Amino acid sequence: MDDHKQITDFDLKLIAEFFKEMPRQGPGGTRQTLQALDLVGELPPDARIVDMGCGTGKQTADLAAHTPGHITAVDFLPEMIAGLDARMRSLGLSDKVTGLVGSMGDPLFEPRSLDLIWAEGSIYNVGFEAGLRKWHEFLKPGGFVAVTETTLLLNEKPDDGGYIDTYFPEIDSIAGKVETMQCAGYQPTAHFILPPECWTENYYAPLAARVDTFSRQYGHYPAARELVESMKKEQPHYRQYGQYYGYVFYIGRKIG
C-alpha cells in the first residue's frame, strides 16, 4: 500500500473488503507460529495473552489451540474482528478468544497485566521500536513479546528503485533489530527466519486469487484499481529480491 497518500475512509473500507476474505493477512505459517510459541516456553494456566493486529485471526486460532488462559485479539478494522469472531465460532474457540476493535498504539491494557503479546505482520504499523516500547508497560515482569518484522537478510540492499526503502522504512539487519529490542527493555531470547513458503504459498498464492475476484467485483472504482495495482507489485518484487529480505520472528522477555 502507498503510505505517502492520504488514506480515506473509503480506501480503508476497500482494504478491509480486500483482506477480510484472505485466510491470513500477512506472510506466516502455522508451523512458525507454533515454533515461536515453543520458544516462549510454558505459560501459567491463567495466562493473559494479547494478539495485536490480529486480522481475521489465523494465528490467533493456532495460538488458542495451544495455550492456556485467555486471548484478547485486537484489530482496528471492525471487519477483521467480525472475521475473527466467525472463525473462532466455527472452531469452537469463542470462549477462549475475545475480539476487540481498537488501535494497538492505544493504552488498551492495564500496566503489568499481560503474560504474552503476540504480533504477526502488524507491529510495523505502529513501528517496531515504538510498538515494543509501548507494549512493554502492559507486560508482567518476565512476560514475553513475539513479533514478526521485515528484516534485511543479506548485508546489502538490492538496487530495486527504492521499493524496500519506501515500503519497509524501518528495515534493518537481524543484529540491528535485536539491539533495538534490547534498547526497548527486553532480553532477546530467540529469533528465526520465516521460510519463503510463508510468503509464496501461504500469502501470495491466496493474494493473487483475491486480486482476481476483488477486481471483478470492485474494479469499477478507481480506488479499488489503485489498491490492486499496488498489491500486484509486491509479489514480483519478492520473487526477484526475496533473498535480500524476509520476516524474522523475534521473541523477547521483559526484564524487571
Binding site for ligand SAH (CB under 6 A): 24-26, 28, 53-55, 58-59, 74-77, 80, 103-105, 120-122, 125-126
To ligand SAH, the closest distance from the beta carbon of 155 in angstroms equals 27
How open is the CA angle 182-130-186, to the nearest 5 degrees?
20
**Comparing C-alpha atoms, which of 158, 182, 168, 174 is closest to residue 253?**
182
CA distance linking residue 100 with residue 102, whole number of Å: 6
To ligand SAH, the closest distance from the beta carbon of 256 in angstroms equals 27
Comparison of 125 and 187: residue with beta carbon closer to ligand SAH:
125
CA distance linking residue 227 with residue 61, whole number of Å: 28
Comparison of 80 and 132: residue with beta carbon closer to ligand SAH:
80
Comparison of 24 and 254: residue with beta carbon closer to ligand SAH:
24
CA distance linking residue 24 with residue 26, whole number of Å: 6
Residue with cell 513501528: 127
Q: Dig out the grid coordinates for 142 from the structure.
A: 518476565
Comparison of 36 and 80: residue with beta carbon closer to ligand SAH:
80
To ligand SAH, the closest distance from the beta carbon of 160 in angstroms equals 22
To ligand SAH, the closest distance from the beta carbon of 159 in angstroms equals 28
Comparison of 55 and 246: residue with beta carbon closer to ligand SAH:
55
Beta strands 70-75; 97-101: pairing state: parallel
Comparison of 53 and 246: residue with beta carbon closer to ligand SAH:
53
To ligand SAH, the closest distance from the beta carbon of 148 in angstroms equals 8
To ligand SAH, the closest distance from the beta carbon of 7 in angstroms equals 11
